[in-house]
Every structure is written in structure tokens, then in C-alpha cells.
Amino acid sequence: VSRAIRNMGGHSTALVALGGSTGQRMAQMLEEAGISVLVLPAPGETRQSLTADDRAARQQYRFVMPGPEWSDVDVTRTLELAAETAPRGGLVVLSGSNPPGVPSSFAALLAERLQGHGTRLIVDTSGEALASVAAARDRRVEILRMDDEEAEGLAGMPLPYRADTAAFAASLVASGAARGVIVARGRDGNIIATDDGIWHAEAARVPTVSKARAGDSFLAGLTLGHARGGPVADAL
């Protein structure tokens, strides 16, 4: 997310848990990319992920390793560091799946700590962590993003049409999951629902080389647009 924000002329600080030789290499890569980094010592070797492309079948396979187990101390330290360093009145992006040992309520715990500083939280996560945010009723999260498959899993039914997706996103806003809910519909673009309305943004028609990190790149653009104070539809 930070790399994409930088590529679009913005600035962010990446809070990253780094450990072992993989963590050292990643720290060097981030420095070479000119990204401001806050290093959080990881409880073990930084996890790796692998993407394999089958060009003949035009299929992509992703292997995401679980990484080391986090303790309650690790979780508390992360929350404290994020709250201490987050920009007052700014935006914090929580992106990715929770490491082992991190509670599904982590986003809610972080949002609670940030609220006192007027800092808003954008969440893009998965699994139980996503379900936990979606089930919230306090609107602590500014924006919750998910893809269409995740949305259908939460809804418990298919969402084949834009209107179906829009209605589901609006229902999460109404129930208090977040102030805004985004559902990515792949090549059909993105939908956001807020109290002020529902918008759909077309996806650019470009050749698909790889879908890896597409969601992070989208989130970077949305966050940068939001930080610059424009209307939410323009940020989308």
C-alpha cells in the first residue's frame, strides 16, 4: 500500500513487523524504495508468500505462509506503537490477514485507540477478522473493503448484480459495521456505500498480467484520494 501511494505522489509511513533474514531483506528493499518505515520487531522470521503463474492455463496460484505465532504482548505493543505514531486527524490503513495469535477483534481494538486522536481507520482484511468488523455496531471503522467473494460469504448468498452488491454494502453501513463499505467486483469495478449514497466506479479495461496486489493498489489510491479531502465518489 505504501509503495503504491508513493508511486502516485503521496507520502505514508509503513508500520511493518520484521524479523529474521527475510525481515532484514524487506527493510532494505523498503529503504531503497524511499518509503518511511517504522519497524516493529516480529516474534519470528517474517513470513513469505509465493505466486505461481500457469501461463498455458492462464491461472494464478498463491501460497501464503502463516508466519510466526504472536503473543498478547506482541499484540499490545503493536496497538501502542500504532496509536502513538498515527497522524492526528489522519488515516491508518490496516491491510492483510491477521498473523497467528492475533485476535479477530484486532481492528476494533486499533480503531478504539485511534478514535481519541481523531484518526480514522481503513480496513482490508479477511476470514474471522473481516467477519468481526462486519458484525460491529459502533461504526469505529471509517471504511471497510472486501472483494465480491468475501461479500457473498458474509451475505450467505450470491450477489450477481451490482444492485445486489450495493444493497449488501448499504446494509453493513446501516448496521454499524463502518461509515463506508466497499465491495470490489473485479473487472466490474468497485461499489461503495455510505450514509450519503451509493456509487459504482468502472474498472479500467487493461490486459490482466497478474491480480496479485491489485487490492492493495486500489486501497492506496482510495486512501490517498480520501486523505486529500475530495468527495468519497472521487476517491473511489
CA dihedral 161, 165, 170, 171 (to 10 degrees): 110
The pLDDT, as a whole number, for residue 68 is: 93
Question: Are 182 and 192 a contacting pair, CB within 8 Å?
Answer: yes
The pLDDT, as a whole number, for residue 196 is: 94
Interatomic CA distance for residues 89 and 120, integer angstroms: 7
User: Is the pLDDT assigned to residue 115 strictly greater than 90?
Assistant: no
Interatomic CA distance for residues 51 and 190, integer angstroms: 24
User: Is the pLDDT assigned to residue 13 strictly greater than 90?
Assistant: yes
Question: Are 219 and 87 a contacting pair, CB within 8 Å?
Answer: no
Q: What is the mean pLDDT of residues 129-137?
A: 97
Interatomic CA distance for residues 191 and 193, integer angstroms: 7
Which range scores top for mean pLDDT: 49-63, 140-154, 218-232?
A: 140-154
Q: How many helices (H) and strands (E) does the chain have?
A: 9, 10
User: Is the pLDDT assigned to residue 117 strictly greater than 90?
Assistant: no
User: Is the pLDDT assigned to residue 132 strictly greater than 90?
Assistant: yes
- 19 pLDDT band, cuts 50/70/90, is very high
Which residues have a Cβ under 8 Å from the Cβ of 149 and sit 6 or more positions away?
A: none
User: Is the pLDDT assigned to residue 157 strictly greater than 90?
Assistant: yes
- 43 pLDDT band, cuts 50/70/90, is very high
Q: What is the mean pLDDT of residues 158-170?
A: 98
- 78 pLDDT band, cuts 50/70/90, is very high
Q: What is the DSSP string of 52-101?
A: EEETTTTEEEEEE---PPPPHHHHHHHHHHHHHHSPTT-EEEEESPPPTT
Q: Which residue has the higher pLDDT, 69 or 66?
A: 69
The pLDDT, as a whole number, for residue 232 is: 86
Residue 233's CB: how many other CB atoms inside 10 A? 15
- 167 pLDDT band, cuts 50/70/90, is very high
Question: Are 161 and 123 a contacting pair, CB within 8 Å?
Answer: no
pLDDT digit string (tens) for 189-206?
A: 999 999 999 999 998 888
Backbone angles phi, psi at 51, to 5 degrees: -115, 125
pTM of the model: 0.93
**Mean pLDDT, the chain, integer:** 93
